[in-house]
Structure formats: C-alpha cells, structure tokens
Structure 1
Amino acid sequence: MLRIRFGIFFSVFVAMVGLMIIAPVMPPLIRELGLSETHSGLIISLGSIAMAAMAPVWGNWSDVKGRKPVILIGFLGMLASYVLFTATMYVGLAGLVSGGFLVVMLIVARGLVGMFIPAVPSSAQAYMADITDEKGRSAGMAVIGAANGMGLVLGPAIAGAFALIDLIWPLYIGSLLPLVAFGVVLLMIPAQKPVIREKPKKVKPFQKGVRLYLFAGLATMLSIITLQVVGGFYFQDQLSLSTRETARMISMGLMLSGVAMIVTQGLQMKNPKWQPKPLILAGSLLLVSSMALFLFVISMAGYYAAFFLFGIGAGLMMPGFMTGASLAVSHEQQGGVAGLVGAVQGISAVIAPILSTSLYQLDKHLPFVFVALFVIIMAVTLLAVRTQTGAAIETTAAHQDVSK
C-alpha cells in the first residue's frame, strides 16, 4: 500500500510541477521572443481552458479503461507536448520562426500540455478512492493534496534554479520529468480492472451532494490563484517595495504557504478520522482570517503570518472537498467526479487571473475582499445544507468488499 501511495503522490507531484514550472520563466521568455504580455496571457489562458475541458473526459475514461493506463497516457502526452512546446520556444529564440505563426504554435503546444496534464490528477484521485474506504478517504486525499502543495512550492523553485543556466532550461526539465514519472508509475502502481462493467449514470456538476463540494473546490482554487496573481502587486504597493524585494517577498510567502499546506496534510494522513465538512469549515475560517490580515495589517511580518494561515486553511480545504466529492458518488463514478474536481481547478485558472486583476484596478483591496466573501458564502451554504453521503459510502464499501 505504501508503494502505491508513493506512486500516486509522485504522479500528482510531477503533474503539478509540470504546470508550475512554466509560470516563472514565461514572462521573460515571451519578451525574449519579442511578443507582448497579451500573447502570454492568451497562451496561458487557452491552456487552462483545455485543462478544464479535458479533466472530466480523462476521469470518465479512467472508469472505463482503468486508472493506470490513463495515467500512463497522460505522462506520454505531457512528454510529447512539452517537447513540442520547448522546441517551439527554441526555434523562436533562434529567430527561425516569429510573429503570428510563432504565437499559434505556442498556443497549440501549451494547449496540448493543458489537455494531457489533467489525465494524471483525475485518475490518481480516482485510484486513491479505489484503495481507501470511507474512514480513510480524507487521509488518502491528503496525500494528493500534499503532492499538489509540494509541486506548488518546488515547481517555481526548480524553474528558478535551472533558469540560472538559461531561461529555456526549466522547459528541458519539464520535458524530462514526465518520462521519469512514467517509469515510476509503470513499476510502482499495479494495474486494476476497469471499475465499469455497465455504463453508470453520468456524474453531473450540479447533482445533489457533489455540487456543494465542487463549490468548496472553486472557493479554494480561486483563493489560491488570486493570491498568486495579485499578491505581488499588492505587497509592492502596500509596503513600497522595489521589484526585487517584491519578488523575494512573494517567493518566501508562497513557500511558507506551501510548507504549511504540506505539514497540515501530513497531519491529516495520520488522522484519517477527519471528515470533509469539518475540514472545509475549519479551513474556511483560517482562509478568511488570512484575508483579514492581508487587508488590515500593513507589515511584512503580518503578511508572512497571513501566508502561513492561508496555507493551513488551503491544506484543510483541499482534501476536504476532494474527499466529500468522492464520498458523494458510487464506486463506478469515482473517475467522473475526480474529473469534475480537475475541471473546477482548470476553470479557476481561467477565471481568477482576469477577475482578480480587474478588481485590483478598481481598488487594490477588492480581490481579498472578494475571496473572503466568496469563502464565507460557501461555508454558510455548507452549514445550511445537510450533506448526505451515506448511500454512496455504503455502495463504495460494498464494492470494496466484493473486490477483496
């Protein structure tokens, strides 16, 4: 079991690194290519749309074809698309291709990266649901949350380290990692028979039970991405920092959040009795508290404390909404619901940058006010609506008993 969990952890970690490793070097590479910030936003946004569109597809395919084959296909696709993206950047920097054709090539390559990446976390989440019962589900999902958190921290760090050699080097590493992960999955994760023998009822995002946890997932991911997108602008304006000081501060802050997230989810792995609803509500309280610190405490120490609280809150909410969504459906629908969770993450990556920067232009405090209000509305809704997962739990347990 430990070997399988490590394989799942490493798979999700590599997928997250693959997503994050591009972000730090994208702006300088775009300028080296003679393109504009608008081109950069277009390339990244369309990649996120591809993620949102394909995550449910991969999740459903994992129910039909099996988890391991879909994860392996995802890594092969990541390898091919990363090689294409890196090669396109290379020929662009060499001056062999330029202008509109270069932009189209980059959009296609980034879109392919976005298409294949969600195959891994969607199938990995469904696999974790397959090998855990309802009592251990939150601890299992904490493994995936910790992998996300570590990828969030180490992805930009890896990019920064290899960018010291050359700006394109992080993309070489991004091309290599899926190949390594393919080997790890091949050796460490055993194949399982597809869970579907007859086509089950399709999981819908607004069906009872599922929608509340997808709402919680949307609140969590919008919060994380908003902080990443406008945090640097906000701290520079609030503390009158230089560009270099701002970069150092935002890097340290995000690292603190990532570490807090990893530690929180490590504790959850040791306490499998923690249930989804309390996890989300406790995380919501901490997330709103961190927004209050960002808004009302104008000091570097206060902001670092807010980053740490934010990491703990996100670290509680992430496995909370994943576990809740998983327990709300039957065993045969785990891939479908994992795909919807992945789609929520992709949708957040499309919405949050546009919304947060637009709000920031109106008033620099508004993005944090919006996050706080959105999380409060989500938490109140979760408190007001009674969640029912009993039938799904019984179905899942019955299937696991049969499989044993």
Structure 2
Amino acid sequence: MENKRALPILFAVMFLVMIGFGIIIPVLPFFAEQIGATPTQLGWLMAVYSLMQLLFAPIWGGISDRIGRKPVMLIGIAGLSLSFFLFAVSTELWMLFAARILAGFLSSANMPTTMAYVADITTPENRGKGMGIIGAAVGLGFIFGPAIGGIFSKTSLSTPFFIAGIVSAVTFVFVLLFLKESLPPEKRAVSTSGVKESRWKAFSGPTTVLYVLQFFVSFSLAGLEATFAYFAFDRAGIGTTHLGYIFMIMGFAGAIVQGGLVGQLTKRFGEGAVIQMGLVVSAIGFGLILLTDSFTTAAIFLSIFGIGNGVIRPSVSALITKRTEVGQGSATGLLSSFDSLGRIAGPPVGGALYSMQIGMPYVSGMIISVLAFILYRVYVKREQKNSITV
C-alpha cells in the first residue's frame, strides 16, 4: 500500500545522513595526513570503506527482509555516528582504519534498506518517483555537507567529524521517533538457508544484466570524479574553489531532475525508456566534456552529464524492485554492492587512462555508456524470452 507521508520523512533522513557523510569529504585527507598517513595509505583508507560497503550491503538488505527496515536503518545510522566520533578522537593511523572499517560495515545498511523501504511503500507506477526523491536527497546532502565541513575545518580538523557525529545522532533520534516500520511481520521473509543463498538468488535471471549495467554506470562516474579536477585545470586553468562551484552546479541539476522529473518520466514512459535516455545523455555529456575550455563550458557540460547520469540509478532501482523474485532488501543490497564495486575500480582505472592521455577517461566513458545501452537491450530481449517461456 502506498504511503505518501513516509516519503518526505525518508527524504529528510537520507538528506541528514548524506550531510553527515559529506561534511568529512574535504577534511578527511588533511586529517589523515596530520596523523601521518601517506598518500598510498590515504588511498587504502578511502578504498576500505567502499570494500566494506561492497561486502555487507547485501547482507544488511537481506536482514531487513527478515526483521524489518527500521531496526536496520537505526543500526546503520548509529554506526555512522559512532564512526565519526571515533574518527574525531583518533590519534593513530590504525584508529582511522578501525573507524573507517566500522563505518563501512554498519553504514552499508542505510542505502539498500532505504531503497527497500521505498519499494515497500510505493505502487509500481510511482516506484521511479520514490527512488528519484531518495536520489535527490543524497545529491543535496553531498552538496551542502562538504561546504559545512570546509567552513568548520577552519576551527579544527577534528571539528567537522564531531559535527558529522552529532548530525547522525540527531538523525537516529528522528528515525526512532517519526519513521514507521514499512514491512509488517506477515510480509517478512522467513529463511533457514542463510543470507548468502538469498543474496545470490537475487543475482539470477534477466535482472542480472541490470546489476552489471549499474556497475558500468558507477565505474564511469567514479573515473570522471577521480580525474576531472586535473582535466579542468589543464584545459581551462580551473582551481579548487571554482571546481567546487562546478560540482555544486552539477549536483543541483542532478537533484532537481531526480526529485522532480524522474517520477513523471518513469510514470509516462516507463523505467526502461528513462534508463536508455539517461545513458544517451551521459554519453553526450562525456563527449562534451572533452570540449571544456572555460568555467562556463565545464559547468554546462558536467551538468548535462550529471542530468543523464542522475536519472539512471533511480530507474534501475525501481525496475529491479519490480522484477526481483527475492526480498526487496536483498535485491537493493546487491545493487548497492555493484555500485560500490564500480566506485572501487573506477578511480584507479580512470587515473591510469588519464596518465596515458588526458581525454581517455571521457572517451572510455562514452564507450562504456554505449555498452551499457547495449546491455539494456540484451535485458529487454531476455525479459521478452522469459515471458514467452512462462
């Protein structure tokens, strides 16, 4: 049954979660360096978080299918808050790694459980709109979080981590008091075969293609994020301050599209058409980025890419929750894992391509977008064949 009242609450929850997460982004490298981390160790510090997300997101999603969404969300938010406070008081490198591992392990519960919650409370025709609203909350959190972190880092490098911990703690209380459980006991999965089997059951049938497609999208985006600062400086002399403005503009464009347009488009044309449109616009955006020669062109071209990329994830999420034959939590958890895998693999590959030729990450992004488009067509044919067989 659709519950429209819960969506604004979920929006606020994910916005606050991502505010807390975003606050530490501009500070983390300098804080780690202050403690004595080398650039290589910083890289591992960033990667270990994504690795934990990759491993545990499907597990938490499966657990939410059995015990409900709200308890798992509370665990994820509490873990995030605790990790921020641990980070703030860290004085040794191993303490940073311990805090980061804890953050990845527990906070990996947040995204798949939230997407599963949306699937619980929305009708199939409004599923894309619900996923888009969550995507918009994530995008806006990433816009405002780093700005807040940058401001408070002037006081002390540990201050943003304390603030992030407090924001997450407030979010925990907000969820505890105002968010109702979306999965009643009679609809919960009862499993005696363990989480692992459920996870791999989600990765079967025609929907397998959608998970791989999401990996491609995440991989190409991560490669762009890892190299665009160097590219923009080389092509247009854009420094860090103006680069921040560019990513802010891109984030706003993506959030507006996700929050307002995805629902209308998926309701009118279906998720499949929106996914294909997003891949085409992303490919065009990658191509346009190669023509960057000023702040204005960088902002416009990156925003075009961001709009195309921004409509894909909510539409893929909505389609998978409609087609999956396992619990929503298991399906969305597996999707988060493929997203994390792309974010782990994308930066080193993008950096290697950039070192070969500065335009290569964006040429490869165009190619990957085309491959993802072809993959979706494969999915359509498999779905048609499967329906005929049934």
Shift of 1:215: 2.2
Query: Contact (CA 8 Å) 2:218, 2:342: kept in 1 or not?
Result: yes
Shift of 1:227: 2.3
Shift of 1:232: 0.5
Q: Structure 2 matches for 1:208-227, cutoff 5 A? A: 208-227=205-224
Match of 2:129 in 1: 139
Shift of 1:207: 1.4
TM-score by length of 2: 0.90
Q: Residue 295 in 1 paired to residue 287 in 2?
A: no
In structure 2, the residue corresponding to 1:388 is in which secondary structure? helix
Q: Structure 2 matches for 1:18-37, cutoff 5 A? A: 18-37=20-39
- 1-side partners of 2:329 and 2:122: how far apart? 14
Q: 1:301 to 1:197 in 2, by over 3 A?
A: closer
Match of 1:277 in 2: 272
Shift of 1:315: 1.8
Q: Structure 2 matches for 1:312-351, cutoff 5 A? A: 312-330=307-325, 333-351=327-345
Query: Contact (CA 8 Å) 2:64, 2:113: kept in 1 or not?
Result: yes
Match of 1:233 in 2: 230
Shift of 1:86: 1.4
- 1-side partners of 2:385 and 2:22: how far apart? 37
Shift of 1:23: 2.1
Aligned partner letter, 2:270:
Q
- 2-side partners of 1:262 and 1:57: how far apart? 28
Which of 195, 198, 202 is residue 202 of structure 1 equivalent to? 198
In structure 2, the residue corresponding to 1:293 is in which secondary structure? helix
Query: Contact (CA 8 Å) 2:57, 2:333: kept in 1 or not?
Result: yes
Q: Which runs of 5+ in 1 are unaligned?
A: 93-101, 393-404
Q: What do the CA deviations read for 1:230-278 (whole angstroms, capped 9, x no partner)?
A: 1101111112x2xxx4212321121111111111112234555142211
Match of 2:12 in 1: 10
Shift of 1:173: 1.5
Q: Residue 381 in 1 paired to residue 375 in 2?
A: yes
Aligned partner letter, 1:383:
R
Aligned partner letter, 2:371:
I
Match of 1:256 in 2: 249
Aligned partner letter, 2:44:
L
In structure 2, the residue corresponding to 1:167 is in which secondary structure? coil
Q: 1:248 to 1:389 in 2, by over 3 A?
A: farther
Match of 1:42 in 2: 44
Shift of 1:162: 1.7
Q: Residue 193 in 1 paired to residue 176 in 2?
A: no
- 1-side partners of 2:211 and 2:18: how far apart? 20
Q: Residue 309 in 1 paired to residue 304 in 2?
A: yes
Match of 1:360 in 2: 354
- 1-side partners of 2:366 and 2:127: how far apart? 28
Q: Which runs of 5+ in 2 are unaligned?
A: none
Q: What do the CA deviations read for 1:334-382 (whole angstroms, capped 9, x no partner)?
A: 0001101111222122111211112111211111112111111010121
Q: What do the CA deviations read for 1:281-323 (whole angstroms, capped 9, x no partner)?
A: 1111111111111113433322211111012112211211111
- 2-side partners of 1:206 and 1:190: how far apart? 29
CA RMSD of aligned residues (A): 2.2
Shift of 1:390: 12
Moved more, 367-376 or 22-31: 22-31
Shift of 1:121: 1.2
- 2-side partners of 1:79 and 1:196: how far apart? 28
Shift of 1:128: 0.6
Aligned partner letter, 1:218:
F
Moved more, 54-63 or 368-377: 368-377
- 1-side partners of 2:106 and 2:305: how far apart? 29
TM-score by length of 1: 0.87
Aligned partner letter, 1:285:
V
Shift of 1:167: 2.1
Query: Contact (CA 8 Å) 1:85, 1:109: kept in 2 or not?
Result: yes
Shift of 1:391: 9.8
Q: Percent identity?
A: 27
Aligned partner letter, 2:73:
I
Shift of 1:15: 3.1
- 2-side partners of 1:50 and 1:7: how far apart? 27
Q: Residue 107 in 1 paired to residue 97 in 2?
A: yes
Q: 1:388 to 1:30 in 2, by over 3 A?
A: same
Q: 1:13 to 1:212 in 2, by over 3 A?
A: farther
Query: Contact (CA 8 Å) 2:128, 2:262: kept in 1 or not?
Result: yes
Shift of 1:210: 2.1
Aligned partner letter, 1:196:
R
Query: Contact (CA 8 Å) 2:274, 2:311: kept in 1 or not?
Result: yes
Q: How many residues align?
A: 375
Query: Contact (CA 8 Å) 1:142, 1:268: kept in 2 or not?
Result: yes
- 2-side partners of 1:268 and 1:259: how far apart? 14
In structure 2, the residue corresponding to 1:209 is in which secondary structure? helix
Shift of 1:388: 3.2
Q: 1:197 to 1:383 in 2, by over 3 A?
A: closer
